[in-house]
A and B are shown apart, each in its own frame.
Chain A
Amino acid sequence: NAGVTQTPKFRILKIGQSMTLQCTQDMNHNYMYWYRQDPGMGLKLIYYSVGAGITDKGEVPNGYNVSRSTTEDFPLRLELAAPSQTSVYFCATREGPREKLFFGSGTQLSVL
């Protein structure tokens, strides 16, 4: 039982490049999230989804895009990477609004 799988674990991008962070879950959870964690800043919600075909902006969506074509997958797209997007990115899922989050292992992204 894999849970929440994030790839890649590490990535270095040049300014202006783009990339997709992958997130896959095998728990059949409807709710999926993307957070970024900067030192001393806690977790900031980028985008979330309550089911296939439904996505919503979080606190810091600028510079990112998501899609949710299936229950399992929730990829995060960075277009025109900027140094301000250097962070650790976490994908998370949960069964419902009252339930706990299950986190992926994170992606450490540096934009230079």
Chain B
Amino acid sequence: AQSVTQPDIHITVSEGASLELRCNYSYGATPYLFWYVQSPGQGLQLLLKYFSGDTLVQGIKGFEAEFKRSQSSFNLRKPSVHWSDAAEYFCAVAPYNQGGKLIFGQGTELSVKP
């Protein structure tokens, strides 16, 4: 079945440590890929997106993500986490041949230790 999976429900990292949030998808052709962040009580904000070309994409707030076709993954990374990065992170996938459909993963909640 077609799906978007974020294997980690909750991650805790220390401030200043590096971060990687995982996202896997199961669609035939390479879909359009997105990462969104939702801070407590806030709406969703787009961090970055990937369609084609360079598999390493840069986003806002110092985030980057790498697309790996062989692993059907689009993992989000940040070299040094700040306390303000504590939030819920969602991977989203727009299947290439399904019009405007946009499916979200279940989210990963990030906590940052001082």
Q: Which residues of A contact B (CB under 8 A)?
A: 30-31, 33, 35, 40-45, 48-50, 56, 58-59, 94, 96-98, 100-101, 103, 105-106
Contacts and interface: CB of A to CB of B under 8 A. Distances in A.
Nearest to A57: B101
Contacts of A96: 100
Interface of B: 6, 9, 32, 34, 36, 43-44, 46, 49, 51, 90, 94, 99-107
A40 B106 contact: yes
A35 B90 CA distance: 14
Contacts of A44: 104
Given A100-B34, A103-B43, A105-B43, A45 B51 contact: no
B107 A42 contact: yes
Contact of A41 (B32, B44, B106): B106
A97 B32 contact: yes
B59 to A, nearest CB: 11
A103 B104 CA distance: 14
A50 B99 CA distance: 7
A43 B43 contact: no
18 contacts: A30-B100, A33-B102, A35-B104, A42-B6, A42-B90, A42-B106, A43-B44, A45-B101, A45-B102, A48-B100, A50-B99, A58-B101, A58-B103, A96-B100, A97-B100, A98-B51, A100-B46, A105-B43
B90 A43 contact: yes
A43 B49 contact: no
Contacts of A58: 101, 103
Contacts of B51: 98
Nearest to A30: B100
A45 B105 CA distance: 11
Contacts of A33: 100, 102
Nearest to A102: B43
A96 B6 CA distance: 25
